[in-house]
Amino acid sequence: MKELDLYKFCQDKEMRWHGDKLYIWIRFYDLREFTDLIGCDWFDEGGEDVSLQYDCICMDLVDICDNHEIDPERIFAKRN
């Protein structure tokens, strides 16, 4: 996965920093695009922890970014 591809995917998504975790809310209809973006191999070893909500999932992007050598602050900047 390339940083630019992840950045473009995240542009219209709700995102928020909470401490060292970068949460993103992904609508169900965007899940296929997201899994194609990060690659199916990411889910081979037990999947990914998410919070299932009524119309989306919420998950932390930091581990995915670290695994792909992407600085999560370049995807969504922390505000001081």
Q: How far is it, in rounded angstroms, from Cα 9 to Cα 21?
A: 18
Q: How far is CA 49 from CA 1, 6, 35, 78, in A?
A: 20, 19, 14, 22
Segment 55-64, tens digit of pLDDT: 999 999 999 9
Which pLDDT band holds residue 46 (cuts at 50, 70, 90)? confident
Q: Which position has the higher pLDDT, 40 or 62?
A: 62
Q: Say yes or no to pLDDT of 30 above 80.
A: yes
